[in-house]
């Protein structure tokens, strides 16, 4: 079962993306953030960024922490969210495949080891980040509801989460 931990256990987990502060990141030697969009920043059915999201990006920027959204969502979805706020992004990312993670790291001109992936899914965000040699932070999905493409991943994820829970590796405390 060591493989499950190697590939699917995040470096850390927090309930909400906005708990990830510049101080937290700097204490861990992180200078760049790749973040998922759907159900990480807003619900998958919410088209636009809200103030909490916008302020988080601003705060990271002010502290010289680079941020890129890497999403498996299509161009319309991701550009509609990012363009109004000048957020860098990669759409149709094909997570967990490594290509988009490597591209984001190149775009930000940082080292993989000083980059963290923030996301709500073990099967795409965390698995992909761990394989690409990034740090990873799991967050709780913003909404219970997922897009159809995520339903199978969630079934597998629930089994892995049960294992991590039994081993005391992840406990959301609720």
Positions in the binding site for Mg ion (CB under 5 A):
36, 38-40, 120
**Full strand arrangement of the beta sheet holding 135-138:** 12-13, 135-138, 115-119, 32-35, 66-70, 88-90
Q: How far is the CB of 121 from Mg ion (least distance, A)?
A: 5
Name the DSSP letter for residue 42: B
Q: Which is nearer to Mg ion, 13 or 31 (CB)?
A: 13
Q: Which is nearer to Mg ion, 9 or 41 (CB)?
A: 41
Determine the Cα–Cα distance for residues 152 and 19; give it in Å rounded to an integer: 28
Backbone torsion region of residue 46, taken as left when φ is above 0, otherwise alpha when ψ lies between -120 and 50, otherwise beta = beta
Q: How far is the CB of 37 from Mg ion (least distance, A)?
A: 7
Q: Which is nearer to Mg ion, 40 or 130 (CB)?
A: 40
Q: Give me the residue label for tokens 């998922």.
A: 36
Q: How far is the CB of 168 from Mg ion (least distance, A)?
A: 25
Q: Which is nearer to Mg ion, 39 or 68 (CB)?
A: 39
Q: How far is the CB of 16 from Mg ion (least distance, A)?
A: 14
């Amino acid at each position: 079962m060591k493989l499950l931990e190697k590939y699917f256990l995040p470096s850390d987990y927090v309930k909400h993306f906005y708990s990830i502060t510049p101080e937290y990141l700097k204490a861990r030697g992180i200078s760049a953030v790749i973040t998922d969009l759907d159900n990480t920043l807003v619900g998958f059915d919410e088209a636009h960024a809200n103030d909490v999201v916008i302020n988080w990006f601003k705060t990271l920027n002010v502290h010289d922490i680079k941020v890129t959204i890497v999403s498996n969502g299509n161009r319309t979805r991701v550009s509609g969210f990012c363009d109004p706020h000048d957020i860098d992004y990669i759409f149709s990312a094909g997570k967990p495949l490594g290509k988009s993670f490597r591209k984001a790291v190149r775009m930000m001109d940082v080292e993989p080891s000083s980059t963290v992936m923030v996301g709500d899914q073990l099967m795409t965000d965390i698995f992909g980040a761990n394989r690409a040699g990034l740090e990873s932070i799991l967050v709780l999905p913003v909404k219970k509801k997922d897009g159809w493409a995520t339903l199978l991943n969630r079934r597998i994820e629930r089994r892995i989460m049960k294992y991590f829970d039994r081993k005391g590796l992840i406990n959301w405390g609720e």
